[in-house]
Amino acid sequence: MSNIPVKGKDHWFRDSYSKSIQCSNKSEYEKYMAAYKADQAEKKKIETLQTDVSELKSELGDIKDLLLTLVQNQK
């Protein structure tokens, strides 16, 4: 069983048996995990904003329908 260096990544190796990626430098791993968590948080934030915009569009449509109904009832 040997470790194959990952191209372009210092301290990162692929296990030839399990094909897993391993890091031999703890600070590099922690740096990677911090970047990964920040990326996940950003994705979650974008997803939340998209949901909020969709809800606002729906509510705005409801308000528009109510206003049209109100105008039609006054005629």
* Mean pLDDT of each 10-residue bin along the chain, 75 residues long: 87 91 90 96 98 98 96 88
Strand partners, 13: 5, 22
Q: What is the pLDDT of residue 1?
A: 67
Q: What is the pLDDT of residue 2?
A: 86
Q: Taking the alpha carbons of 18, 19, 20, 26 in that order, is the dihedral positive or negative?
A: positive
Strands (E) located in the chain: 3-5, 12-15, 21-23
Q: What is the pLDDT of residue 10?
A: 87
- Which of 44, 13, 43 shows the shortest CA–CA distance to 28? 13
State the pTM of this model: 0.65
69 phi and psi, to 5 degrees?
-65, -45
